[in-house]
Amino acid sequence: MPSAERPDIDASGLGHVGELEMRASFPSSYQWDARSLAGMMRPVLSPAFARFIEAQPFFFIGTADADGMCDCSFRGREYRADGTALPALKVMNEREVVFPDFPGNGLYNSLGNLRVNPGIGMLFMDFERQRRVRLNGRATIRRADETVRAIWPLAQASITVEVVQAYGNCSARIPRMTMIAGSDAGW
106 occurs within a structural domain = yes
68 with 32, same domain: the answer is no
pLDDT for 8: 56
Burial class, 65, CB count within 10 angstroms (exposed 0-12 / middle 13-18 / buried 19+): middle
Question: Does 187 fall in a domain?
Answer: no
Determine, yes or no, domain membership for 112: yes
The closest alpha carbon to 68, from 132, 27, 28, 8, belongs to 8
Query: Is 59 in the same domain as 3?
Result: no
My answer on whether 35 and 73 are in the same domain is no
Across 51-71, average pLDDT: 96
Domain boundary among 9, 25, 40: 40
Q: Are residues 88 and 21 in the same domain?
A: no
The residue range of the domain holding 25 is: 1-40
Identify the CA nearest to 59 among candidates 45, 43, 48, 72: 72
Does 69 lie in the same domain as 157?
yes
pLDDT score at 2: 44
Of 81, 94, 95, nearest to 140 by C-alpha is 95
d(CA 32, CA 10): 14
72 touches 60 (CB < 8 A): yes
Kindly state whether residues 34 and 46 are assigned to the same domain: no
Predicted structure pTM score:
0.86
Q: What percent of the chain has pLDDT over 90?
A: 55
For the cut 70, the answer to whether the pLDDT of residue 7 exceeds it is no
- Identify whether residues 153 and 63 lie together within a single domain: yes
Report the pLDDT value the prediction gives residue 9, as an integer from 0 to 100.
55
The pLDDT of 103-108, averaged and rounded, is 86
Tens-digit pLDDT profile for residues 108-161: 999 999 999 999 999 999 888 878 899 999 999 999 999 999 999 999 999 999
Which of 93-107, 144-158, 171-185 has the weakest average pLDDT? 171-185
Q: How many domains does the chain have?
A: 2
Q: Tell me the CATH number at 49.
A: 2.30.110.10
- Answer yes or no: is pLDDT of 42 > 50: yes
Residue 13 pLDDT level (bands cut at 50, 70, 90): low
Q: To the nearest 10°, the Cα dihedral for 152, 108, 139, 65?
A: -170
pLDDT above 50 for 1: no
Is the same domain home to 96 and 159? yes
Residues 6 or more apart whose Cβ sits within 8 Å of residue 22: none
- Please give the pLDDT value at position 178: 83
